[in-house]
Structure 1
Amino acid sequence: MQRGTGRNIFVAATYGATLLLGLILGQNYADQQGSKPVSTLVPIGLSDHSYKIQQALDLIIHSYMDSLDIDSLQNGAINHIIAHLDPYSSYLLPNDTRAQTEALEGTFEGIGLEYFNLNDTLLVVGLITNGPAEKAGVKVGDRILQIDSTQVTGQSLTQAVIKKLIRGKKGTPVYLQVIREGNLIEAPITVIRDQIQVSSIDVSYMIEPTIGYIRIRRFGLKTAQNFKTAIADLKKQGASRLILDLRDNGGGYFHIAIRVANEFFKDKKLIVYTEGAHEQKREYYSEGNGSYAEGKLIVLINEGTASAAEILSGALQDWDRATIVGRRSYGKGIVQEQFDFADGSRINLSISRYYTPLGRSIQKKYIPNWSNMTDYAHMYKGLWALDTTLAQTQMFETTEGKQLFSGGGITPDLHVSVDSNTLNLLYQEIVGSSYLEQFVYERFTRRLPAYSIENFLQGYHLPQQEYDTFIDYLAKKGFVINERKQEDLLELIQTDIEAIVGRYYFGREAYFKVKNRTDDYVEEALTLLKPLPSDTLSTDLDSSLPK
């Protein structure tokens, strides 16, 4: 979130009934067109509001009967007050701050390797194209026995420990001892760590001869740039219609969502505006030079579509630029600013509310759930109760006469009913258990296939016999599934296994291509985008007319 003015912000933190800690923070805002939001915190002294807080803190530090861990007290105090502001403001410790930054910026220092812990052995299941691991000769299917001098097989190491072993400063080496196709490679593979770039675009491909498909996972630092490149590539392949998949996109950088929205308009259009108690109304417009300013557009959303993804969806819906397909979005209409402390910790503070071009607020109603405060072990988890009911309030009308409402998320133009089987607790438990991956990697990873991704997508479907084998596999793990439920879950689990096999053999793109083959949202979008029979007839008649 970018800002053009400077001001001071006061944040006070309290912890329990005895600890009170005050912080007065100074804010430096980055220019709106900057590449990255930059917010720094510096103490600027005490105000009348903070004097009592500081006095109480000094009293505790100098007079309490036992020695204190001041850092721990400060972290607890800040977390306590921030958690009580709203459901979205948060206080992050340095490790969490670093993880958030890496996710949004799409970059970290490592070797570009994805693994799965299979029977206490690290199985390589994915590689970043042209990344350090791939360049060094690591291959999908390799089993890592040792990282540097640390044996990893049979050790039940946590992900945090393995991550610490693999990641490190750019330019430093890491040595991997591996088994390939059952044979030990005697000399360790030397991999030189480098800066790894991870795209926030999951996949971009031609789903039909004239229809492109793009799925955006989050709005990171390079999403707009990557999106523009993807659009250009699809247009070269003949795409004149587009499916933009924003399902389970939880948001990201505010200004990046605006830059992506710009690509869909040929004129200067209001994308969103923000306003808060300490924030004057500010409007954000497209530049009017969109790379996909014309052409049919379908946007897919669901309950996991939130924040910046809702900004984009709302703008496209308000201007009648796209048809929104799916299920009602999450409903987060609040903007956070990131404030960094010198020790690497961070406050994500809600500073304003945002509104769609027509003036809709899509924020869900939220109220404090004070009864949860009795559980001190999880005192912040579930503190806020969100109203998930659809509370349509004020009605707005688009230029084309479409009626839209504020409150509780983005309501799609075309609703897709939920598959009850996906909500089945047994299915969700199976997916969450990682037994699907274990089954695939134990049975289908002996060697990579000789056929192409196209042949795989067109010709491979999980045989009934393999599905039955998986059901037996689950039974040994404690999941007993009756015959009726086996039939209900057949298509879902078959698709899941096929997608995991595709990802292992051919990468992330194959995974989504397989999933999209039977996806109800995608099927609805394709139906809307395909030309009507009358359109085809008109085209055929036109082509037969004499010139």
Structure 2
Amino acid sequence: MKIKNIYIPLLLAVFMAAGILLGSFLNFPEDKRSMLSSAKKTKLNKLMDFIESEYIDDVDADSIVDLTVNSILEKLDPHSVYIAKNEMEAVSQSMKGDFVGIGVNFYMYKDSVAVIKPIHGGPSEKAGIKSGDRILYADNTKLYGRELPNDSLFATLKGERGSALTLTVFRKSENKKFKVNLTRDVVPIKSVDVAVMVDDKTGYIKINRFAETTYDEFHEGLVTLKKQGATTLIIDLRDNGGGYLEKAVDIADDLLEDDLVIVKTKNKKNREDITYASDDGVFEQGKVYVLINENSASASEILAGAIQDNDRGTIVGRRSFGKGLVQREMPLGDGSAVRLTVARYYTPSGRSIQRSYADGEEAYFDDFQKRYENGELYAADSIKVADTLKYKTLRGRTVYGGGGIIPDVFVPLEGEHGDEALLMIMKSGVVSYFVFEQLDAERKAFDGLNKQQVIDKIINTDVYYRSFSKYLSQSGLVLPLQKHKQEIKYYLAAEFVRQLVSEKKYYQMLLKEDSMVKKVLEQ
């Protein structure tokens, strides 16, 4: 498959955060009122009973119910969604911020479970599992030489907290097979990727979603950065599709002075709830910059809107997604659930940033391609604003509603027009898998190397660049590599550092070349 300009919007859209679709929701008490009137429920129940008892062929009643619920929700708005019971566990774990398991990052490589890296502090690391190890058996369940789907693998490796598991492991670097006994435990799913200093006064925190643990992770990182001398803070919300609204509120509260408005919500009965900042913020002084892009949605926009409307900091990047709806989750009793839009939220100035969905769900989610085609991702003056939806910030600056948060400082997509797909791939799992396979083939050649030695080993030769080019070609991706040769080498070196040294060192490398971070440091 040759990547041409016409495919780029589609490829970029694949990388959009899945959280945008599910969005943020509030934990209201469960409403005892019926979703449908009694008569209409009776009609649906009669139909289902009739099908089950009389229809000539066997049918899967659950699949019919799923289709019915989805059909109902499709008539509402793009963010009222049904979560099937087979999807609910993964969604819940992501939002909870942890799961019970063995604690490894892995993928199926040549029909075996290859450990990319054990999670720091997790059961596998404590038991001595290392990067490159193959997990052959989990107790007596064979894991290699089979085309096992990921959900089967996860089900095998996860279990009750405190439950014992014996792994049979092959360590290629030592050519030996051995058994490891470990105890399953809680493994965190980080929503804050990193909190790191980018220079002697600027701290950087990357938030990938707003889960139950997000504020605690953010607060811990912020306190650490302050101790390291941070007087300027960069909060990176790029590609953050949302999550729990109240966690975005908690973070805003750490940044805003007492009694400033953080967010307003208004429900069907026009009841308005206003949330104000309290007096115990950790970072109420000092400069704040918030990075957003076209995939920053929902709770990300709440946080960015609170900072912008209160003139607390500077929003940097590109126009955000434009989701101003709040969902409430209702369990349906069989393990599935519905997230129903129950309110709209408004930024402190009173603006709704929800985009119109009058043309249907497909057109709504195709908005990214429209932005690409009209040049908005490359030039600030191509952003369409509604002059009728003007609002004023606390200090009287003009801001606009009706379609996302428009940044104060615009930064276009990185790279030349048409080359975005390559740069997106360089930050994707493709690079991670490539680097793992290179290390798997020659791990001993990297033993004992420090960060700079690893970087020099990758950058000062074309060996890994050529191997990566071949790797992409074999995957069916033909991309303009040559004119980005040095950038590609740098990204490859960063991923080698990530797998061999640390996550923080990886981010410190990428942030040096990040166009939005550079723009902040120029301010």
TM-score (norm 1): 0.81
2:167·2:181 contact (CA, 8 Å) conserved in 1?
Answer: yes
Equivalent positions of 1:444-455 (< 5 A) are 444-445=439-440, 446-447=443-444, 449-453=447-451, 455=452
Which of 297, 301, 311 pairs up with 1:306? 297
Distance in 1 (alpha carbons) for counterparts of 2:474 and 2:268: 58
Matched-pair identity in %: 34
The Cα of 1:128 is off from its aligned counterpart by 1.9
The Cα of 1:218 is off from its aligned counterpart by 0.8
Which of 231, 236, 251 pairs up with 1:240? 231
Distance in 2 (alpha carbons) for counterparts of 1:158 and 1:125: 18
| RMSD (Å), alpha carbons | 2.7
Structure 2 equivalent of residue 198 of structure 1: 189
Unaligned runs of 5+ in 2: 1-24, 372-383
Distance in 2 (alpha carbons) for counterparts of 1:444 and 1:259: 41
Which of 351, 359, 362 pairs up with 1:382? 362
Which structure has the larger Rg? Answer: 1
Instruction: Summarize deviations over 1:420-453 as a string: whole Å, max 9, x none.
Output: 4585376279669955334322323413542444
The Cα of 1:402 is off from its aligned counterpart by 1.9
Distance in 1 (alpha carbons) for counterparts of 2:105 and 2:27: 37
Q: Secondary structure at the match of 1:412?
A: coil
Residues 4 and 475 of structure 1: CA distance in aligned 2, closer, same or farther (over 3 Å): closer
The Cα of 1:252 is off from its aligned counterpart by 0.6
Which of 495, 505, 521 pairs up with 1:510? 505
Residues 429 and 525 of structure 1: CA distance in aligned 2, closer, same or farther (over 3 Å): closer
The Cα of 1:95 is off from its aligned counterpart by 2.5
Residues 331 and 495 of structure 1: CA distance in aligned 2, closer, same or farther (over 3 Å): farther
TM-score (norm 2): 0.84
Instruction: Summarize deviations over 1:343-398 as a string: whole Å, max 9, x none.
Output: 211101111111000011111111344xxxxxxxxxxx838555556342411122
Distance in 2 (alpha carbons) for counterparts of 1:5 and 1:102: 21
Residues 185 and 235 of structure 1: CA distance in aligned 2, closer, same or farther (over 3 Å): same
1:11 aligns with 2:35: yes
| Bigger mean CA deviation after superposition, 512-521 or 147-156 | 147-156
Structure 2 equivalent of residue 338 of structure 1: 329
Looking at both structures, which has the greater relative contact order when contacts are Cα pairs under 8 Å and sequence separation is at least 6?
2
Distance in 2 (alpha carbons) for counterparts of 1:167 and 1:486: 40
Residues 244 and 432 of structure 1: CA distance in aligned 2, closer, same or farther (over 3 Å): closer
Structure 1 equivalent of residue 168 of structure 2: 177
The Cα of 1:75 is off from its aligned counterpart by 2.0
Which of 394, 404, 410 pairs up with 2:399? 404
The Cα of 1:47 is off from its aligned counterpart by 3.1
How many residue pairs are counted as aligned between the two chains? Answer: 480
Q: Which amino acid aligns with 2:35?
A: V
Distance in 2 (alpha carbons) for counterparts of 1:153 and 1:66: 39
Distance in 2 (alpha carbons) for counterparts of 1:47 and 1:510: 60
| Bigger mean CA deviation after superposition, 410-419 or 425-434 | 425-434
Distance in 1 (alpha carbons) for counterparts of 2:311 and 2:47: 56
Distance in 2 (alpha carbons) for counterparts of 1:57 and 1:111: 42
The Cα of 1:411 is off from its aligned counterpart by 0.4
Q: Secondary structure at the match of 1:195?
A: strand
Distance in 1 (alpha carbons) for counterparts of 2:459 and 2:198: 22
Q: Which amino acid aligns with 2:80?
A: S
Distance in 1 (alpha carbons) for counterparts of 2:520 and 2:246: 28
| Bigger mean CA deviation after superposition, 427-436 or 356-365 | 427-436
Distance in 2 (alpha carbons) for counterparts of 1:5 and 1:151: 45
Instruction: Summarize deviations over 1:180-232 as a string: whole Å, max 9, x none.
Output: 24334443111211111222100001111111110011111011122111111
Q: Secondary structure at the match of 1:366?
A: coil
Instruction: Summarize deviations over 1:473-503 as a string: whole Å, max 9, x none.
Output: 444555455xxx3333324422331222122
Structure 2 equivalent of residue 293 of structure 1: 284
The Cα of 1:285 is off from its aligned counterpart by 1.3
Structure 2 equivalent of residue 463 of structure 1: 460
1:457·1:514 contact (CA, 8 Å) conserved in 2?
Answer: no
Q: Secondary structure at the match of 2:462?
A: helix
Distance in 1 (alpha carbons) for counterparts of 2:288 and 2:435: 36
Instruction: Summarize deviations over 1:124-166 as a string: whole Å, max 9, x none.
Output: 2222222110111111232333333333333333222222221
Q: Which amino acid aligns with 2:351?
A: R
1:523 aligns with 2:484: no
Distance in 1 (alpha carbons) for counterparts of 2:29 and 2:89: 26
Q: Secondary structure at the match of 1:306?
A: coil
Residues 267 and 71 of structure 1: CA distance in aligned 2, closer, same or farther (over 3 Å): same
Distance in 2 (alpha carbons) for counterparts of 1:266 and 1:472: 54
Structure 2 equivalent of residue 73 of structure 1: 64
2:138·2:167 contact (CA, 8 Å) conserved in 1?
Answer: yes
1:333·1:361 contact (CA, 8 Å) conserved in 2?
Answer: yes
Which of 477, 481, 489 pairs up with 1:486? 481
1:126·1:507 contact (CA, 8 Å) conserved in 2?
Answer: no
| Bigger mean CA deviation after superposition, 394-403 or 94-103 | 394-403
Residues 53 and 158 of structure 1: CA distance in aligned 2, closer, same or farther (over 3 Å): closer
The Cα of 1:512 is off from its aligned counterpart by 2.0
Q: Which amino acid aligns with 2:64?
A: L
Q: Which amino acid aligns with 1:261?
A: A
Q: Which amino acid aligns with 2:301?
A: E
The Cα of 1:266 is off from its aligned counterpart by 2.5
Unaligned runs of 5+ in 1: 13-45, 370-380, 529-547
Structure 2 equivalent of residue 414 of structure 1: 409
2:113·2:135 contact (CA, 8 Å) conserved in 1?
Answer: yes
Distance in 2 (alpha carbons) for counterparts of 1:384 and 1:415: 23
Residues 220 and 196 of structure 1: CA distance in aligned 2, closer, same or farther (over 3 Å): same
1:364 aligns with 2:349: no
The Cα of 1:3 is off from its aligned counterpart by 5.9
1:269·1:288 contact (CA, 8 Å) conserved in 2?
Answer: no
Distance in 2 (alpha carbons) for counterparts of 1:486 and 1:66: 55
1:219·1:308 contact (CA, 8 Å) conserved in 2?
Answer: yes
Distance in 1 (alpha carbons) for counterparts of 2:296 and 2:406: 11
